[in-house]
Structure 1
Amino acid sequence: MTTIKTTHVGSLPRTQEVVDFIFARENKEDYDLAAFDAAMTAAVSDTVRKQVEAGVSIVSDGETSKISYATYVKDRYTGFDGDSPRHAPADLKKFPGFLKRLADDGGTPQYARPMCVGPVKSKGQGELEKDIANLKAAMASHGAERGFMNAASPGVISLFLQNDHYATREAYLAALADAMKDEYEAIVASGLDLQLDCPDLALSRHMLFNDLSDAEFVKIANSHVEALNHALQNVPEDKVRIHICWGNYEGPHVCDVPMATMFDTLMSAKAQYVLFETSNPRHGHEWTTFRDRKADIPDHKVLVPGVVDTTTNFVEHPELVAQRTQRFVDIVGKDRVIAGSDCGFGTFAGFGTVDPDIAYAKLSALAEGVALVK
């Protein structure tokens, strides 16, 4: 009898000690590097332990050492300095009172988003090697058999760290793809699965490109996937996960591009595992896109629907998790479904809507729910 595996998108709540260290580094304050490294090692071990205890089959390091899933590259690659302009999502601009409330309540994370002002080159894989070692040691210690590590896609880097050096967007994407290639290959060579975070395939539609038509945006998104696939040329497809995202925030989301519009783009990525949102109210209906396009889902693709939400503190009932998961089992079969989360629980260091203890309660509900799937 096939047991459905469970996972999540990657980031998990960080402890205050970890957040303090990350922001000391972010703000260029003095800190003890040995103490920093020890804190990260201990925090990753605890994070993996909690995932295993919650019943998560495929674990991550929680992105513990990173300031965020995209902007961490500024610390590991040359060419970034200054600050990039902020672009509020178009849906929040439609509701200025709500946008002001978010800003006044501290609902917008504060961290540096430098521009690309020079050639993008790796500073070496030292930080990545520490992350890999921490995750693998924690997995061995707590009995986790399979793990994954997140990495930014060329497209999402271009979304948050905007170009002020390369002649064209295409040239910037190509440079990012070449620079990130070694990171991707190092993660897979370590025995971990690689997850590429790609909100540029959805969120950027209503952040940077809301003056374009959907067809024009799809062309841009396709160019992002081409750059990503180039960077993955030496990586086996069955070691790669891709996550599409419309923005991990509680908001109206009335400007989100439909999954149906992005379906072909998403399926064209060199990634066997496809992670996407199905729990929040703006995308819960879109499971029907996969049902209606079943013939267009390549036979080797594994669907990883988000069957728990990451923007509210409701803990989903296991029966609801089972119902959400069952829809995709009915489309592609049990062996091609892994149950996941809509997005991360700690997208930015020190910033997350969901209480840390509730985040793990949601992961426990995830595991309980998939056990009910027929």
Structure 2
Amino acid sequence: MTIRTTHVGSLPRPKPLLDLLAARQRGDDVADDVLADATRTAVADVVAAQREHGVDVVTDGEMGKLGFFSYVTERLGGLERRPGAETVYSFAAEQEAFPDYYERYFAQAMMGGTVGTIEPVVCTGPLVYQGQAALQRDLDNLAAAVDPSEAFVPSIAPSGVGVNEYYGSEEEYYFAVADAMNVEYRAIVDAGFTLQVDDPFLTEIYSFHQYDQPTRERRGRMYVEAINHALRGIPTEKVRFHTCYSINEGPRVFDVPLADVIDLVLAVDARYYSFEAANARHEHEYHLWETVTLPDDKVLIPGVITHASNIVEHPELIAERLERFARLVGPERVMAGADCGFSSQASFVPEVDPTVMWAKFDAMAAGARLASSRLNAVR
């Protein structure tokens, strides 16, 4: 038995690609074939680097996307960017509790150095999937670099697609998004890859919004029902579900306990569940699996390295983290992962330095080998 390694998806883009993306955002004349070649090269290089640093189940690092949720405005018709509009993201509770910290943080880190502006997205017309060509380029680039059976492709959850101004109800809107995103989800799986549905918005309604508990529960169920609607017709074993807490490095005192949302998480029609477990706000939550029964056909991907710190985790600590989960749910149902992506937006100044990130991956691979050896010795 060997514990395999993976991560969440986004990785720092190389500077030549960032320069081209920034030039295009400025309105400079950047030839399509030049950008396509740079993206293809970046994907090949980042896949090779993942392999070199011990990652078993790889991805394209989201090289072809400006951001993990902003890309959807290119893929779906019926959306428009609108500066100053309401946004699906809200850090109000944290920002009010730590105003000085978050003023610096959003200026310098999470929003600093990004290639594209992060603007609210509004639905103003009927939603239709129009991103077939862009998606096919992403899939072709990754398939050229790795066997699809050893790779995953992230895609946004319906709950992350902007604010509704067109449909008659929130439920109608999210199911319309799900219908449109089903096109992308199916194409990813049909190409042989595993689909990863990214949804930090599920925990966000519990962590930051000032909803009462019945509203939180209603919206949480609606989010999950929309995901499952988008996944219809897709084999469960080809689906990973990732949720996190929307903020990278910060006090994080308003993060919802995993115990409060675990029933919703496990209700998603996926085989693999990826979640934060390496940072200081969530490492203790492995105890949850002492009382929560993981269905027999499910696999956990707890974060054993974090995107919220430039400290490189020691392989011994990583091994301990993996062994805790393995003892509770079985070693064959644990993979080593990261808390979240390392560059959710294309940025010249990612919060975790790329050289540190690769050292984290090295440590994860070493920790997974160590845990595997120890667990095999006692079987």
TM range (shorter): over 0.9
**Corresponding residue for 2:160?**
156
Where 1:303 maps in the other structure, the secondary structure is strand
Q: Which segment is superposed worse, 36-45 or 80-89?
A: 80-89
2:365 pairs, out of 341, 346, 367, with 367
Where 1:173 maps in the other structure, the secondary structure is helix
2:353 pairs, out of 340, 352, 355, with 355
CA distance in 2, matches of 1:216, 1:181: 26
- Kindly provide the amino acid, as one letter, of the partner of residue 146 in structure 1: E
Aligned length, in residue pairs: 363
**Corresponding residue for 2:173?**
172
CA distance in 1, matches of 2:45, 2:271: 29
Q: Which runs of 4+ in 1 moved over 6 A?
A: none
Runs of 5+ unmatched residues, structure 2: none
| C-alpha displacement of 1:120 | 1.3
Residues 1:329 and 2:326 aligned together: yes
CA distance in 2, matches of 1:221, 1:275: 18
Q: Which segment is superposed worse, 281-290 or 189-198?
A: 281-290
8 A Cα contact 1:200 1:221, kept in partner:
no
**Corresponding residue for 2:312?**
315
CA distance in 1, matches of 2:256, 2:225: 20
CA distance in 1, matches of 2:55, 2:226: 32
CA distance in 2, matches of 1:194, 1:104: 33
| C-alpha displacement of 1:249 | 1.3
Where 1:305 maps in the other structure, the secondary structure is strand
Q: 1:6 to 1:226 in 2, by over 3 A?
A: same
Query: Deviation string for 1:298-325 (max 9, x for gaps)?
Result: 1111000000011111111000000011
| C-alpha displacement of 1:184 | 0.2
CA distance in 1, matches of 2:24, 2:242: 28
**Corresponding residue for 2:135?**
128
Q: 1:30 to 1:166 in 2, by over 3 A?
A: farther
Query: Deviation string for 1:18-53 (max 9, x for gaps)?
Result: 223333444554311000100000000000000000
CA distance in 1, matches of 2:136, 2:163: 27
8 A Cα contact 1:275 1:340, kept in partner:
yes
| C-alpha displacement of 1:76 | 1.5
CA distance in 2, matches of 1:196, 1:58: 16
Query: Deviation string for 1:235-257 (max 9, x for gaps)?
Result: 00000000011124111111111
**Corresponding residue for 1:205?**
206
**Corresponding residue for 2:186?**
185
Residues 1:340 and 2:337 aligned together: yes
Query: Deviation string for 1:133-175 (max 9, x for gaps)?
Result: 11111115xxx86000000010122xxx212222211111011
**Corresponding residue for 1:111?**
118
8 A Cα contact 2:74 2:131, kept in partner:
no
Q: CA RMSD in A?
A: 1.6
| C-alpha displacement of 1:8 | 0.2
Give the share of equivalent positions with the same residue, in percent.
39
Query: Deviation string for 1:270-320 (max 9, x for gaps)?
Result: 000000011111111111112221x3x211110000000111111110000
CA distance in 2, matches of 1:279, 1:348: 21
**Corresponding residue for 1:231?**
230
| Paired residues for 1:1-374 under 5 Å | 2-83=1-82, 84-86=85-87, 87-105=90-108, 107-109=110-112, 110-139=117-146, 146-157=150-161, 161-207=162-208, 210-293=209-292, 295=293, 297-350=294-347, 352-373=350-371, 374=375
8 A Cα contact 2:110 2:248, kept in partner:
no
8 A Cα contact 1:218 1:265, kept in partner:
no
- Kindly provide the amino acid, as one letter, of the partner of residue 63 in structure 1: E
- Kindly provide the amino acid, as one letter, of the partner of residue 317 in structure 1: H
CA distance in 2, matches of 1:81, 1:28: 18
CA distance in 2, matches of 1:191, 1:150: 14
Calculate the TM-score normalised by the size of structure 2: 0.92
